[in-house]
Amino acid sequence: MKTEYRIPMCDILYFESNLREVRIVWKNGILKEYNKLDVIEKKLEGEKEYFLRIHKSYLVNYHYIAGIGYDRVIMNTGLELPLSRKYQKQVDEMLRGQMEKIK
């Protein structure tokens, strides 16, 4: 039996893809969905204020990013996720843009 959940976007920390399974990591736990991360990313295009691709396997809610290193993103939970070279510039620009809004 299939169960559907409604999770507020602001409660989702990140999506992690492994083959055809996507883990949705949120404040209250982890849900799994059989899908491709690219499909989920397209569905979330209207939510650019929340989600940012950092790796072929990770789509993160940038509100939960505490810092970035050369090859990793540090979440405010202390978890470190890989940051691929392909997405480094995009991540840096997004975070700089958000910092400018705060000033």
> DSSP letters along 32-67, please?
EEES-HHHHHHHTGGGTTTEEEEETTEEEEGGGEEE
Give the mean model confidence (pLDDT) for residues 72-100: 86
Task: Set out the domains of the chain in order of their start, with CATH numbers.
Answer: 9-102 (2.40.50.1020)
Confirm if 34 and 21 have CB atoms less than 8 A apart.
Answer: yes
pLDDT score, position 6: 86
pLDDT-derived band at 3 (thresholds 50, 70, 90) equals confident
Average pLDDT, whole number, for the chain? 87
What was the pLDDT predicted at 1?
61
